[in-house]
Amino acid sequence: MRKVAVIGVGCIKVGEHWKKSLRDLCFEAFKNALNDAGIESQMIDGLYIGNMSSGYYQRQEHLGSLVADSLGLIGVPAVKIESACSSAGFTFKEAVQAVASGMHEIVAAIGVEKMTEVKTPDATSALVMAADHDYEAEFGVTFVGLNALIKRRYMHDYNVKDEDIAYFSVHCHKYGANNPHAQYPFPIKLETVMKSPIVADPIRLFECAGIGDGAAVAILCPLEKARELIDEDRIVEVAGVGAATDTIRLADHDSLTSFKATILATKRAVSSAKITLKDIDLVEVHDAFSITGIISLEDMGFYKPGQAAKAAVEGELEKDGKLPTNMSGGLKSRGHPVGATGIYQIIEVVQQLRGEFGKNQVEDAQIGAAQNIGGVGGSVTVTILRRFR
Amino acid sequence: MRKVAVIGVGCIKVGEHWKKSLRDLCFEAFKNALNDAGIESQMIDGLYIGNMSSGYYQRQEHLGSLVADSLGLIGVPAVKIESACSSAGFTFKEAVQAVASGMHEIVAAIGVEKMTEVKTPDATSALVMAADHDYEAEFGVTFVGLNALIKRRYMHDYNVKDEDIAYFSVHCHKYGANNPHAQYPFPIKLETVMKSPIVADPIRLFECAGIGDGAAVAILCPLEKARELIDEDRIVEVAGVGAATDTIRLADHDSLTSFKATILATKRAVSSAKITLKDIDLVEVHDAFSITGIISLEDMGFYKPGQAAKAAVEGELEKDGKLPTNMSGGLKSRGHPVGATGIYQIIEVVQQLRGEFGKNQVEDAQIGAAQNIGGVGGSVTVTILRRFR
pLDDT tens-digit profile of B73-100?
999 999 999 999 999 999 999 999 999 9
CA A218 – CA A343 distance, rounded (Å): 7
pLDDT value for A318: 98
pLDDT value for A158: 98
pLDDT value for B121: 79
pLDDT value for A129: 97
Active site residue B208: no
Could you tell me if A38 lies within 8 Å of chain B, comparing CB atoms? no
Number of domains in chain A: 1
Which chain A residue lies closest to B69 (C-alpha atoms)? Answer: A247
CA A137 – CA A248 distance, rounded (Å): 11
Could you tell me if B305 lies within 8 Å of chain A, comparing CB atoms? no
* pTM of the model as a whole: 0.98
Q: Is residue A190, in this structure, part of any structural domain at all?
A: no
CB spacing of B56 vs A52 below 8 angstroms: no
Q: What is the pLDDT of residues B324-336, one digit of tens each?
A: 999 999 999 999 9
Helix residue ranges per DSSP H, chain A = 22-37, 54-57, 63-70, 87-100, 120-127, 143-158, 162-176, 190-195, 223-229, 260-273, 290-299, 308-313, 330-333, 341-353
Residues pairing with B109 in the sheet? B48, B218
DSSP B361: P
The total number of residues shown for chain B amounts to 389
pLDDT value for A121: 79
Q: What is the pLDDT of residues A37-62, one digit of tens each?
A: 999 999 999 999 999 999 999 999 99
- Judged against a pLDDT cut of 90, whether residue A1 lies above it is answered with no
CA B341 – CA B87 distance, rounded (Å): 8
Q: By residue range, what is the domain housing residue B105?
A: 4-119+211-233
pLDDT value for B239: 98
- Which residues are within 8 A (CB) of B156 and not within 5 positions of it... i.e. 6 or more apart? none
- Residue whose C-alpha is closest to residue B326's, from B161, B169, B163: B169
Determine the average pLDDT of the residues in A266-292: 98
Q: What is the pLDDT of residues A283-302, one digit of tens each?
A: 999 999 999 999 999 999 99
- Judged against a pLDDT cut of 90, whether residue A138 lies above it is answered with yes
Helix residue ranges per DSSP H, chain B = 22-37, 54-57, 63-70, 87-100, 120-127, 143-158, 162-176, 190-195, 223-229, 260-273, 290-299, 308-313, 330-333, 341-353
Q: Is residue A331, in this structure, part of any structural domain at all?
A: no
Distance, CA of A131 to chain centre: 18
* Candidate list A11, A26, A85, A172, residue with the active-site label: A85
Q: What is the pLDDT of residues A67-100, one digit of tens each?
A: 999 999 999 999 999 999 999 999 999 999 999 9
Rounded to the nearest angstrom, the minimum Cα separation between B50 and chain A is 10
CA A47 – CA A67 distance, rounded (Å): 9
* Candidate list B26, B85, B172, B221, residue with the active-site label: B85
Determine the average pLDDT of the residues in B106-119: 95
CB spacing of A59 vs B133 below 8 angstroms: yes
pLDDT value for B205: 98
Interface of A with B in 50-69 (CB under 8 A): 52-53, 55-56, 58-66, 68-69
Burial of A366 (0-12, 13-18, 19+ CB in 10 A): middle
Rounded to the nearest angstrom, the minimum Cα separation between B271 and chain A is 12
CB spacing of A248 vs B62 below 8 angstroms: yes
Q: Give the pLDDT band of residue B119 (cuts 50, 70, 90).
A: confident
pLDDT value for A348: 98
Amino acid at the residue B114: K
Number of Cα atoms under 13 Å in the Cβ half of residue A332: 34
Q: What is the pLDDT of residues B190-229, one digit of tens each?
A: 999 999 999 999 999 999 999 999 999 999 999 999 999 9
- Judged against a pLDDT cut of 90, whether residue A210 lies above it is answered with yes
Could you tell me if A254 lies within 8 Å of chain B, comparing CB atoms? no
Which CATH number is A222's domain given? Answer: 3.40.47.10
Interface of A with B in 86-105 (CB under 8 A): 90, 93-94, 96-98, 100-103
Interface of A with B in 203-242 (CB under 8 A): 241
Q: Is residue B76, in this structure, part of any structural domain at all?
A: yes
Number of H-type helices and E-type strands within chain A: 14, 11
Q: What is the pLDDT of residues B274-323, one digit of tens each?
A: 999 999 999 999 999 999 999 999 999 999 999 999 999 999 999 999 99
Buried b (16+ CB within 10 A) or exposed e, B189-200: ebebbbebeebb
- Judged against a pLDDT cut of 90, whether residue B120 lies above it is answered with no
- Judged against a pLDDT cut of 90, whether residue B72 lies above it is answered with yes
Q: Is residue A78, in this structure, part of any structural domain at all?
A: yes
CB spacing of A62 vs B83 below 8 angstroms: yes
Distance, CA of B304 to chain centre: 23
pLDDT, chain B, mean: 97
Q: What is the pLDDT of residues A214-268, one digit of tens each?
A: 999 999 999 999 999 999 999 999 999 999 999 999 999 999 999 999 999 999 9
The answer to whether B381 touches B2, Cβ cutoff 8 Å, is no
Q: What angle do CA A349, A354, A357 make, to 5 degrees?
A: 65
- Residue whose C-alpha is closest to residue A241's, from A274, A285, A215, A219: A274
Q: Is residue B382, in this structure, part of any structural domain at all?
A: no
pLDDT value for A151: 98
Q: Is residue A159, in this structure, part of any structural domain at all?
A: no
CA B18 – CA B24 distance, rounded (Å): 11
pLDDT, chain A, mean: 97
pLDDT value for A17: 97
Q: Is residue A96, in this structure, part of any structural domain at all?
A: yes
CA A184 – CA A182 distance, rounded (Å): 6
Longest Cα pair distance anywhere in chain B, in angstroms? 57
pLDDT value for A184: 98
pLDDT value for A253: 97
Q: Give the pLDDT band of residue B118 (cuts 50, 70, 90).
A: confident
pLDDT value for B1: 83
Q: Is residue B174, in this structure, part of any structural domain at all?
A: no
CA A184 – CA A180 distance, rounded (Å): 10
Give the whole-number percent of chain A exceeding pLDDT 90: 98
Q: Give the pLDDT band of residue B352 (cuts 50, 70, 90).
A: very high
The answer to whether B350 touches B334, Cβ cutoff 8 Å, is no
pLDDT value for B94: 98
Of A120 and B249, the one with more pLDDT: B249
